[in-house]
Amino acid sequence: MTYAPRGRWHGPRCTFGFHHDLHADATDTALGARCETLVDMLRLTGAEFVQTDSKGHPGLTTWDSRIPGATVAQGMVHDVLAAWRAATRTLGVPLHAHYSGIWDQSAAAAHPDWRLLTADGTPGGAPYTIPGWPTNPEALLCPRGPYLEELLIPQLREMIDRYGVDGFWIDGDIWAMQPCYCPCCTAAYAAETGDTPPTDPADPRWAGWWGFTLRGFEAYVTRYCDAVHAHAPGVLVCSNWLQTFRHPGAPTVPTDWISADNTPVWGLDGSRCQARFVSTRGKPWDIMLWDFYASHGLTERHSPWVTKPVQMLLQEAAVVLAFGGHIQACDAPWAPCGLRTGEHVPWRLARVREMGRFVKARRALCRDTETLPQIAVLHSEHHARATVAGHNLFWDVDVAPVEGALFSLLEGHYGVDILDEWALLPRLADFPVIVAPEQHAMSAEMVEALKAYVAGGGKLLVTGAAAVERFGAAFLGVTPGTVVEHATYHLPAADGAVPLFSAAWRLVAPAGGRALCTLGTTPLLDEYLLPHPGAVLTRRGKGTVCYVPADLFRDFAVNRYPLTRALVSRLVRRLAGRLDLEVQAPTCVDIALRRKGRRTLIHCLNRASGLPNVPNSGAVDEIPPVGPITVTLRRSAPPQSVRLAFERAPLAWTYADGTLRITLERVHIHAAIVVAG
């Protein structure tokens, strides 16, 4: 295993933060004019650490930076960073500076030679534009250029020396980054490979060029982390979205903690993925939840931002807390109201405080836990980097099959973790079931390890037509078959049949394996059937492999059909048999299985909404309690106790013949069944 720094944090009583997302721009005229209310407003949030703007994507500082090349916001009436530092010292909480990295419009305009260049020689553009927000589209900077040493690192040191900031949350970094074709980058690529960089993602060399870009970006982050740590060892550094779900692989960049600001509109699914992946990184981590949203996303003027209902905030937070993460609440004066003076809206901050109370009530039981292994979904970093078909280092990583696997398994009430090869290889034997969702470009080492895992008694679910080339037809128990592109076939599921579209269907026949279902060309269950199975189950050594020769999980990520979910649950039951811990619950209840010492924690997370989510309303409101939830847990002795944490609801349990049976009448948002002993 590659060494990964363990990271650092402020301590166990620092789990709920408040983030002020300002992004000063050229239209501002009164920045800092009303900062005299900061102490009262921050006290109202109940935040235990605070992040505030120092330099946003426009590149204007909200402190009086004296570094040559700095662009200070002309609309700053008072030194904003100084006011926030004074307020946080009064309250005794750490202060982090929000600082935009690769994306800096002012530096790009003032120093054209610092800019990232695209394949046609034009400067790289910003990932998006916010209506009404002045922007220079040629705003991305080269990570190998002078920007890092001449502006970014000097400004971080300046904030440490003059303001005593406790940490940096670097924004506009990996998620804004793309390959750079400037002379410096192309020369470095030529020195490493002896080649010129490709310009088209369809070029077979693209994965190598994209990987070169990623390594260069990671080296850039490493340099500013090392610079801060050398200058002030106690100051923490984080790069937004680095080492999260779309950046799999060994977390070797020496950031102190991991953080990401979640999707503002449909953030619950984002939290479900992030929590199950970032919790495997071995570092302190948080997810920043936007306390506001807009029905049509970030960039539509006709869809103004509005504050989220409290229950929506709590629902998003619960998913993170169950896996031991911290929470930040993001409040942005560029979004719901346009207050740019340092003022805050008390009623909005009161909602933030309610979220903070929810977090603090759960942290003692949720922190310092480990997963109770049941199903591991493989998110191979080798596959992710070999199959990227775009330019952006973050958004163009294809995670759809992993998402589809996670969501379908969670709806079957399994305990699921997402692990890359770095995290999974050392602990394959811990998981009763492993799912490889269309990961045909995983490493050869991973393939051999999975084969050994099955031979030793493991249960492996593999999907995708290309898996035959990766694992071999004999291991999967099928003939090589032929591949049909862009086809839909029907598979029996629950009380009917589900249409499953796949960009590639492999029409195989069992060869040592047993067909679990037959492909149909129509929804009829007994006519128009093909002589090809939709899934094959094969014994290998002491274990079993189940193979679906199509993009089962990508299809679920796109369509989320209930019948597809039923099909996945049936396949897992046939593959895994009876698991030691099984849950029956309404579909909207996610399960998170954790351990803390000798206690087993069964987190029940209610994703329901009292009002339907539709394309023109992403709100979750009036969450209804749901139930019942039944847990069956095989164990050799009765427990010392079984209790319900976080919520109040009738709970009953019995133990007989090696089986603990628990019935919880209902869960509102987040309750945890605690089995002690």
Tell me whether the omega of the peptide bond preceding residue 143 falls within 30 degrees of 0, making it cis: no
- Quote the CA–CA distance of 167 and 237 in Å, as a whole number: 6
**What's the CATH number of domain 582-676, 2.40.50.100, 3.30.200.20, 3.60.15.10, 2.60.40.1180?**
2.60.40.1180
Average of pLDDT values for 308-316? 95
Q: Residues 499-509: pLDDT tens digits?
A: 999 999 999 99
Average of pLDDT values for 534-556? 98
Lowest mean pLDDT among 130-134, 155-159, 375-379, 581-585: 130-134
Other C-beta atoms lying within 10 Å of the C-beta of residue 128: 12
User: Where exactly are the structural domains of the chain?
Assistant: 16-259+358-368, 371-577, 582-676
Residue 584: what pLDDT? 98
**What is the chain's percent helix, strand, coil content, to nearest 5?**
30, 25, 45
Residue 1: what pLDDT? 37
Residue 100: what pLDDT? 97
Residue 301: what pLDDT? 75
Helix (H) or strand (E) holding 547: strand 543-548
DSSP 67: S
**Residue 601: helix, strand or coil by DSSP?**
strand
- Distances from the Cα of 614 to the Cαs of 163, 174, 272, 617, in angstroms? 46, 31, 20, 5
Same topology, domains 16-259+358-368 and 371-577? Answer is no
Q: Residues 233-255: pLDDT tens digits?
A: 999 999 999 999 999 999 999 99
- Span 371-577: which CATH code? 3.40.50.880
**CB–CB of 355/321 below 8 Å?**
no
Residue 621: what pLDDT? 86
Could you tell me how many residues make up the chain?
A: 677
- For residue 4, pLDDT over 60 is answered with no
* Percent residues over pLDDT 90 in the chain: 90
Average of pLDDT values for 601-606? 98
Average of pLDDT values for 89-117? 96
Other C-beta atoms lying within 10 Å of the C-beta of residue 404: 26
Average of pLDDT values for 328-348? 84
Give the pair of three-digit tokens for residue 559. 């369509």
**CB–CB of 627/585 below 8 Å?**
yes
Q: Closest by alpha carbon to 257, among 217, 228, 219, 287? A: 287
Quote the distance between the C-alpha of residue 316 and its chain's center.
13
Average of pLDDT values for 340-356? 94
Q: Residues 388-436: pLDDT tens digits?
A: 999 999 999 999 999 999 999 999 999 999 999 999 999 999 999 999 9
Give the pair of three-digit tokens for residue 565. 């979910």
pTM of the model: 0.96
Q: Residues 44-55: pLDDT tens digits?
A: 999 999 999 999
- Quote the CA–CA distance of 591 and 291 in Å, as a whole number: 25
Listing from the earlier edge strand, what are the strands of the sheet with 581-584? Answer: 581-584, 629-634, 659-664, 651-656
Average of pLDDT values for 311-315? 95
**What b/e string do you get for 481-497 counting C-beta neighbours within 10 Å, with b at 16 or more?**
bebeeebebbbbbeeeb
Select the more confidently predicted residue: 294 or 216. 216
Please give the backbone phi and psi of residue 183, each rounded to the nearest 5 degrees, phi first.
-55, -35
**CB–CB of 303/297 below 8 Å?**
yes
- For residue 335, pLDDT over 90 is answered with no
- Distances from the Cα of 133 to the Cαs of 25, 99, 103, 136, 376, in angstroms? 8, 18, 15, 10, 43
- For residue 299, pLDDT over 90 is answered with no
* Percent residues over pLDDT 70 in the chain: 97
**CB–CB of 536/515 below 8 Å?**
yes
Average of pLDDT values for 194-203? 97
Q: Residues 610-657: pLDDT tens digits?
A: 887 677 777 888 999 999 999 999 999 999 999 999 999 999 999 999
Q: What distance, in Å, lies between the first and last C-alpha atoms of the chain? A: 33
- Quote the CA–CA distance of 147 and 70 in Å, as a whole number: 11
Instruction: Provide the CATH topology of domain 16-259+358-368.
Output: TIM Barrel (3.20.20)
Please give the backbone phi and psi of residue 10, each rounded to the nearest 5 degrees, phi first.
-80, -15
Residue 481: what pLDDT? 97
- At 2, the pLDDT band (50, 70, 90 cuts) reads very low
**Mean pLDDT across the chain:** 95
Q: Closest by alpha carbon to 167, among 5, 87, 52, 330? A: 52
Residue 97: what pLDDT? 98
β-pairing, 514-520 vs 529-540, is antiparallel
